[in-house]
Chain A
Amino acid sequence: MTLLEGILIADFSQFLSGPSASLRLADLGAEVIKFEREGTGDICRTLYVSDTRIEGESTIFHAINRNKKSFTLNLKTPTGLKKAKKILATADVLIHNFRPGVMESLGLSYEEVYTVHPEIIYAEISGYGTEGPWRDRPGQDLLVQSVSGLTYLSGNRNDPPTPMGVSISDIYAGAHLVQGILAALFQKNRTGKGARVQVSLLESMLDFQFEAITCYYNDGRQLPERSEINNANAYVAAPYGVYKTKDGYLALAMNSITVLGELLKCPPLSVYTDSKKWFSQRDEIKKILSDHLKSQSTGYWLEILEPADIWTAEVLDYSGLVDHPGYEVLKMEQDVLFGNGFKMKTTRCPIRINGKRLTSSTGAPSLGEHTLEIEKKFGLT
Chain B
Amino acid sequence: MSTLPLHGLTVLEFSQYLSGPSAGLRLADLGAKVIKIERPGTGDACRQLSIGNQWVDESSLLFHTINRNKQSFAADLKDKKDLELVKNLIRISDVMTHNFRPGVMEKIGLDFESVKNLNPKMIYAEITGYGKEGPWKDKPGQDLLIQSLSGLTFTTGNGKTDPVPPGLAVADMICGAHLVQGILAALIRTQKTGEGAHIEVSLMESMLDFQFEFLTTYFASGCLPQRSLINNAHSLLGAPYGIYKTASGYIALAMMPIHKLSAAIDCESLNKYSEEETFSKRDEIKEIIAGFLLQNTTEHWLEKLIERDLWAMPVMNWNELSMHEAYRALDMEQVIYSNGAKPVTTTRCPIRMNEEKFKSDTGAPKLGQHNQQILEELKEIVH
Contacts and interface: CB of A to CB of B under 8 A. Distances in A.
Nearest to B196: A354
B381 interface: no
A52 B220 contact: yes
A63 B212 contact: yes
A113 interface: no
Interface string B223-254: 11101000011111110011101000010111
Contacts of B330: 128-129, 132, 200, 202-203, 206
Interface string A190-221: 10000111111011101111111111111101
A116 interface: no
A146 B314 contact: yes
Contacts of B26: 179
Nearest to B165: A232
Given A251-B147, A279-B53, A351-B199, A50 B351 contact: no
B134 interface: yes
Nearest to B328: A132
A326 B134 CA distance: 5
B326 interface: yes
A47 interface: yes
Contacts of A179: 26, 30, 177, 180-181, 184, 351
Contact of A50 (B130, B163, B236, B313): B236
Interface string A161-180: 11111111001110111111
Interface stretch (B82-90, B266-274, B317-325): B317-325
B168 A209 contact: yes
A317 interface: yes
Contacts of A185: 188
A207 B253 CA distance: 24
A242 B166 CA distance: 11
Contacts of A189: 188, 191-192
Contacts of B200: 351-352, 355
B174 A175 contact: yes
A132 B350 contact: no
The CB with the most chain A CB atoms within 10 A, among B166, B174, B253, B345, is that of B166
Interface stretch (B35-43, B72-80, B154-162, B371-379): B154-162
B243 A214 contact: no
B311 A313 contact: no
Interface in B267-326: 279-280, 306, 309, 311-319, 321-322, 325-326
B341 to A, nearest CB: 12
B344 interface: yes
B37 to A, nearest CB: 22
Interface in A130-176: 131-134, 137-138, 140-155, 160-168, 171-173, 175-176
A152 B250 CA distance: 11
Contacts of A138: 254, 309, 311, 313
B170 interface: yes
A215 B333 contact: no
B326 A134 contact: yes
A315 B153 contact: yes
B164 interface: yes
Interface in B49-67: 49, 51-54, 61-62, 65-66
A332 B134 contact: no
A155 B206 CA distance: 23
Nearest to B53: A279
Contacts of A148: 316, 321
A271 interface: no
A47 B346 CA distance: 38
Contacts of B199: 351-353
Interface stretch (A33-41, A72-80, A341-349, A366-374): A341-349
Interface in A245-281: 249, 251-254, 276, 279
Given A155-B157, A189-B188, A318 B234 contact: no
B316 to A, nearest CB: 5
A350 B178 contact: yes
B357 to A, nearest CB: 9
A330 B134 contact: yes
Contacts of B117: none
A214 B346 contact: yes
B133 interface: yes
B208 A347 contact: yes
B208 A330 contact: yes
B216 A59 contact: yes
B189 interface: yes
Contacts of A240: 144
Contact of A59 (B139, B197, B213, B234): B213
A236 B223 CA distance: 34
B380 interface: no
Nearest to B173: A208
Given A4-B188, A214-B344, A347 B216 contact: yes
10 contacts: A50-B279, A63-B216, A147-B316, A149-B316, A196-B354, A198-B352, A346-B216, A347-B212, A350-B205, A351-B178
Interface of A: 1-5, 16, 24, 28-29, 47-52, 54, 59-60, 62-64, 128-129, 131-134, 137-138, 140-155, 160-168, 171-173, 175-180, 182-187, 189-190, 195-200, 202-204, 206-219, 221, 223-224, 226, 231-236, 240-242, 244, 249, 251-254, 276, 279, 309, 311-322, 324-326, 328-330, 332-333, 344-347, 349-355
Given A202-B326, A326-B149, 11 more contacts: A131-B329, A138-B309, A143-B311, A147-B326, A160-B250, A167-B213, A253-B140, A253-B142, A330-B134, A347-B208, A350-B202
